[in-house]
Chain A
Amino acid sequence: MSTKTSWTGRVRAATLEKFEPEDLLPEVQPAYVASWIYIFGVATLAALVMLVASGLYLTLEGPAWWHTSNIGHYVNSVHLWSVELFFVFMVVHLWGKFWMAAWRGRRLATWITGCLAFFASIITGFTGYIIQTNFDSQWIATQAKDGFNAVGIGAFFNTLNTGQAILLHVSLLPLVLGGIVIWHVILVRRKGVVPPIDEAGE
């Protein structure tokens, strides 16, 4: 039982017990990590950093800028290609982890948070496509509205409401996705990178 008298002390003690600095920021990795299939998690994170950086720039300047200026076109393209790479890296990461059964060794929460991050990314990507403010976004929004109405969520999420979609895309969903990703990375660090099946002796 903890001897700490305040909740801050108890939280600190519990955090230090569960998250050791050596686990959170390791300097070396097991030999089996020296394989290309292990780089796609961090490649996904790198694409996410580019996404957030270019997204912040787009948020500051707005649609009139990204549709009309050269630098706006460039930053808009960086944001688009970061999304493409983000999903490509994430899907290859998912395939790799699925085929090495990465939920082994009490890593189920890591696997589940990865799945949640994937679904949150799809919703975030979708809201991004409908706030482009061009004919493409109009087409996607009008087609998606029928789909959302058909499954009964049209009353809560109206894809023709650009204001709602923008707020979801630039505030709520990045917070949700960012939180899940941080949780996922902390779990990876805490449990360690999953070993190959033959290495684990299973």
Chain B
Amino acid sequence: MSTQAYELISMLMRYVFVLIGLTIVWRSYRWLRRDARAYRREMRALPDAGLVGEMVNLSTGEAQPLPREGVIGSSRECDIRLKGPGVERSHAHFEFEDGKGLKVIPLRRANVLVNGNALHGPAYALHGTQLELGGIPLRVRLFAGLNIPYPAPFAEQAAQPWEDDDGERPAEWDGPQQAEPETEGEAYPYTGYENALPDNPPYDGHYTPDGQMTWQYAYSLDDLHRAMEQQTPPQDQWRQVRPTDQVPDEEESAYGAEHPHRRRRRDRHA
């Protein structure tokens, strides 16, 4: 091939190369945008994505979503925000550990009580554990289906709907499979706060890092009455995951009034 012909071909090809490059960049850009949009849509359809449960402020009745890891405190940047004179800006750190529960670590010798006992180091909270941070009582509520130690009564009962569905658990589900409920108890009704407390105070526990597990009754009657007097929460206070086919379309704005996260956030600012 002659040098001159090659030169011409190569000079023509540089435009082709730029064109192909631009195609790649354009398609990547478009895909990045699409992916971001799809992810946002998915997150709206799955309000519980990335969460392990919620934290109920027993003094106000307010429930805040509980991510896998985060900080509790009074600062605006905290994942779980509490307002009170005794609450530090960053009060405690929490982290969900598979198979162990919610690890709570008080920061800078902050005042944290677990089921009434002062905490000096990390401790694992389970479903129903009552924390007290700077004088504010909190209840930890964890989703069913999480891998947390037995017994975790609430979680077990909440697992019921799975069976109602098609009688089979999905393979990924790694909850307390050993605990098939023997009694034909009805699914735990989560329609309002007043129903959050069962007839019999449930077992509840937390355990210390050295594996020592302590059990005690979670509720006192005083707790119950105080909580009920102070506020009767609205019906949709509990975040329930709606089946996906009930999630309104993007156009109808799932961001609207129905979405519990959004509502809470707006209320806070109001």
Please say whether chains A and B are actual partners in one complex.
no
Binding site for A on B (CB under 8 A): none
